[in-house]
Structure 1
Amino acid sequence: MNSLKKGIGTLLIVGLMIVSCDDEGYIPIAPDDSFVGKTAAVFSSFSTSTDGDGTIVTVKPLTVGVDSYVVDFGDGSSTVTAAQGETVTHDYSNKDASTDYTISVTAAGITKTTDITVDHTVQPIGTAPSSPSGKRYNLLNIFTDATSFGSAGTGGKVIALESGNNLLEFSRLHSDTGVVSLSDEIVATDAFYSGVGSSEIHFDVYSNFAEGIDKLKITLVDSTNSVSHVIDDLDLTDGEWTSFDFNLDTDFSSPVVQFETIVFEVASSGTTNDHATIYVDNIYMPRMTGSTIINGDFEDGQDFWKWGKFTDGTTNPFGSSSDGSDFDIDGNDTGGKTRGAKWSSSQSAGEFRSSSSRFAYQELVLTPGANYILQYQYAIKDDSGTDPVGGRRVVGLILDQHYDDGADAAANLGNNLGFDEGFVAEGKFSDTNNDFGTLVQIPFTANISGEVAVMFYAVSPKDAYIDNVKVIAL
């Protein structure tokens, strides 16, 4: 058994035209007078080589005195006849990843056969769609360059492009399916956080019709409840990335409550060609618009408050603390301290500003023109220290837009819809009246786009804290 792969070697089939066979092998027969003045027909060998994706095989015979030869490539295609000195090229089907064939060559009445294995490789593409531009905490990334919540299962693999982008490749969709297996089930209403979900899902899909499929079927599988949510007959664009955005409530065969597997296959009315390959990228779910602050009680540390980028600064938003309010975010007395957000003097801004200064930030998309209240509790230690000009304080703001770079937000603090500077310094939460700290409520009206952000920082020589941040719709 020989193995033919892209750029791999030579297959030799050796024989003599004038032979006799006995138990000891091939014995040359001495020519008689009929051979005088004639050239003996000799079929000594032939070589093979591969090209392209590993399926194009070329046969080149080495013969003497042979008018023609016939090649059967063993895949059911018609035999090919060529004259002496000519080569014969055949492109095997790329439908299967690896297939065994028997090549037969007949010359001057002798047939030789050899079994080979042809490995059909898929040549990756060099293009990728743009990565999602939204903040990570506003996108649940199932598979993007930002992060991966799932892995390629049956019939799939992750490929890396020279650009550094990663894609999912699914091949042989004639019979196989492409499967993304999630590391955990996604519950639509709680996709981001308890009570904070998504009603949409996005896909980018690429297919070259000559080597892929023209129509796609996507299934979201809920194994827990034995439910398959299907959307079929999706038109792809030949040789281009196609973007799909689906409503989980209305676009699938039934409303999607939860799922843990995504299946890609050719549509019911679709066609497959060659190795039937598609590429998939940017599978994500955008966070639903609304006024809910995620992790407003800081029980999950810095989650959803951290910057993706902060030029000449730190992306960390605050220092985590176990000295938060005794009250939970719903106003219930827990009987003990909860977690909170803390700023030390080295993390403060204002006149203490440095590359270590920290700013907490979270984006919201609200109803344009609607009225809201930003509410939170704060506390500041009253230990001795050199106070900044204007006094030690905790600052809360509602910024009038979203910012990609924390440095830009810090440079535009005046561009806000409302703010508060809290100067009450009575010690940490446990030292204040009822262990509650100071309550702040800042009324504001959402801008015309609805895109706002809440931001917090401290200016203090001693520790300052906030807890239980929420935005309340009026």
Structure 2
Amino acid sequence: MSCEEDDIVAPTESTMGTGLTEITFSSFKAIPGPDENGMEDGTYITVNPLAIGVSSYDVDFGDGSPVVTITVPERSVSYDYPNEVEEVTYTITVTAKSNKGLSSVTMSESITVKHEVSSVTSAPDSPTVGLEEVLSIYSSGIEYNGGTISYRYKAGGVDFDEGAAQYAEVTTASGNKVIQYSRLSEDVGASIELDEIVVADAFDTGIAATHIHFDVHSEFAVGIDKLKIILVNGSTEYVFNQDLTDGEWISLDLDLATDFSAPVIQFDEIKFELGTGGEANDAATLNVDNVYLHKPISSVIQNGDFNNKTDHWRFTAFTDGTTTPFGSSSDGSWTNYDGTDNGKKTAGAKWTASQSGGYLQSSGSRYAYQALKLMPNTDYILEYEYAIKDDTADDPIGGRRIVGLVLDGHYIDGADAVDDIDSNLGNHVGTIAEGKFNATRGTLVQIPFTSNDSGEVAVMFYAVTPKDGWIDNVKVYLD
């Protein structure tokens, strides 16, 4: 037998069913990757099935979304899972189908999708409110001379992770730490719990906070566009609403008396929620920094009786020196702050030889400082008591002494204030050294002065003595 070469016909392979008796469905891959915008947060999954004898694939991504069809010769389909939870396992089901009468074949695979949160790349400006005027809840403090000075007064019992929202503390490229709250929605909020703060006594009995500060930030594509801040006191909620700006830090300095839904009396929880009518996208992330209460600089001396030791008496910084203002002491005046006889000694501020300034200046010298905001160009009196030990010792040039001054302005760095000691509005050099305070001993000083044009003045004290010296009962009042 023989045949012509032209009679030989090669078989044609088909993936559409012709010549096949069944679909061969070998596998499919579900691979995470960047979305159409290049964002890669773990939620964007591409399914790529591999089969012979198919005309289409139905892909069920397992989260209740509509089934998606891949029509051959298309080879894959992608889906961006909703980013409402941090991590979830989905079952992806792919059904391979033929339009040539072959039976469909179904294959399933479980995939765990970890929904990553976009990192924040920027940080807000450093706070400028002074150390003595802030009760910090979350803040790195003040940037000064290339460093950071932490706030000294901090709220107690703070827990940042009390809400249902996902909490993280992240570090930006600049090294600044920022809180991230994610998965925010109408039903899911973030919460900071803390010890109860009574606004009228936030800093001390009768020393009130007037404002609460927040720095907040959101990228709308992965965040929220409206924010609700709630201060909670039991069943009472004080509410503030804010429209956010896409990609920008917003600094909120809220008046506790007027900016919330009612004057804030006290609270022990701060909530962050999606604002009314707001939109939450992707991971719905809110970035938060610099949460603190603050008060204005006072016209009244704070802790003038030194019952709270060194509170309210420190410089923010002190180049080549210490911000520690004095040594706390129980050897203060026998007179109470209101002028009545206590019958025994009270608390006071103390200096020793190693803490002296002036002629004995060293890196360990201590200076007590307190800024005041007075009425401009007005007559006032700075009043205090002092005592110096009379023990035998080698006195410095000019004798042992306690010096009180009224500075013509406010200072951040104590070294600058020391340099400007001679430019003061009033001063007294106390040289009476009769021994420590007792029932009959202690020298009362009253320094008259006139405030400057701004009313921004400060009081400062230091000692120059080889033996202990004290001050107590510091007051400033109208002449």
TM-score (norm 2): 0.84
Residue of structure 1 equivalent to 2:95 = 106
Distance in 2 between the 1:58 and 1:156 partners?
A: 26
Letter in 1 for 2:452: N
| Post-superposition offset of 1:63 | 3.5
Q: Deviations over 1:81-138 (max 9, x none)?
A: 0536833322111123333422111225211123333222212212111231222221
Alignment partner of 1:309 is 2:291? no
Alignment partner of 1:160 is 2:170? yes
| Post-superposition offset of 1:67 | 4.9
Correspondence 1:91-170 to 2 at 5 A: 91-108=80-97, 109-146=104-141, 149=155, 150-152=158-160, 153-154=162-163, 155=165, 157-162=167-172, 163-170=174-181
Letter in 2 for 1:220: L
Segment of structure 1 superposing worse, 36-45 or 446-455 = 36-45
Letter in 2 for 1:228: E
Tell me the secondary structure at the aligned position of residue 42 of structure 2: coil
The CA RMSD over aligned residues, in Å, is: 2.3
Alignment partner of 1:212 is 2:201? no
Q: 1:61, 1:85 within 8 Å by CA — same for their partners in 2?
A: no
| Post-superposition offset of 1:216 | 1.7
Alignment partner of 1:229 is 2:238? yes
Residue of structure 2 equivalent to 1:9 = none
- Of 40, 45, 55, the residue aligned with 2:27 is 45
| Matched positions, count | 433
| Post-superposition offset of 1:141 | 1.5
Segment of structure 1 superposing worse, 95-104 or 35-44 = 35-44
Mind listing any 5+ residue stretches in structure 1 that lack a counterpart? 1-34
Alignment partner of 1:63 is 2:51? yes
Letter in 1 for 2:208: G
Cα 1:368–1:49, aligned 2, differ >3 Å: closer, same or farther? farther
Tell me the secondary structure at the aligned position of residue 416 of structure 2: helix
Tell me the secondary structure at the aligned position of residue 192 of structure 2: strand
Letter in 2 for 1:180: I
Alignment partner of 1:243 is 2:251? yes
Distance in 2 between the 1:159 and 1:320 partners?
A: 37
Q: Deviations over 1:408-464 (max 9, x none)?
A: 11111123221111111111112xxx3441111112233233322211100111111
- Of 189, 197, 207, the residue aligned with 1:196 is 207
Residue of structure 1 equivalent to 2:472 = 467
Mind listing any 5+ residue stretches in structure 2 that lack a counterpart? 1-16, 34-39, 98-103, 142-150
| Post-superposition offset of 1:40 | 7.5
What is the percentage of aligned positions where both structures have the same residue?
A: 51
Residue of structure 2 equivalent to 1:339 = 347
Distance in 1 between the 2:199 and 2:377 partners?
A: 28
Q: Deviations over 1:350-399 (max 9, x none)?
A: 11111111111122222333332211110111111122222211111111
Q: 1:363, 1:451 within 8 Å by CA — same for their partners in 2?
A: yes
Letter in 1 for 2:459: V
Cα 1:427–1:36, aligned 2, differ >3 Å: closer, same or farther? closer
Letter in 2 for 1:138: E
Distance in 2 between the 1:242 and 1:339 partners?
A: 44
Alignment partner of 1:180 is 2:180? no
TM-score (norm 1): 0.85
Letter in 2 for 1:464: G
| Post-superposition offset of 1:45 | 1.6
Q: 1:325, 1:435 within 8 Å by CA — same for their partners in 2?
A: no
Cα 1:42–1:327, aligned 2, differ >3 Å: closer, same or farther? same
Distance in 2 between the 1:195 and 1:211 partners?
A: 44
Cα 1:311–1:58, aligned 2, differ >3 Å: closer, same or farther? same
Tell me the secondary structure at the aligned position of residue 124 of structure 1: coil
Residue of structure 2 equivalent to 1:25 = none
Tell me the secondary structure at the aligned position of residue 121 of structure 1: coil
Tell me the secondary structure at the aligned position of residue 222 of structure 2: coil
Q: Deviations over 1:232-269 (max 9, x none)?
A: 3x221111011222222222221111111111112223
Distance in 2 between the 1:447 and 1:395 partners?
A: 21
Tell me the secondary structure at the aligned position of residue 240 of structure 1: coil
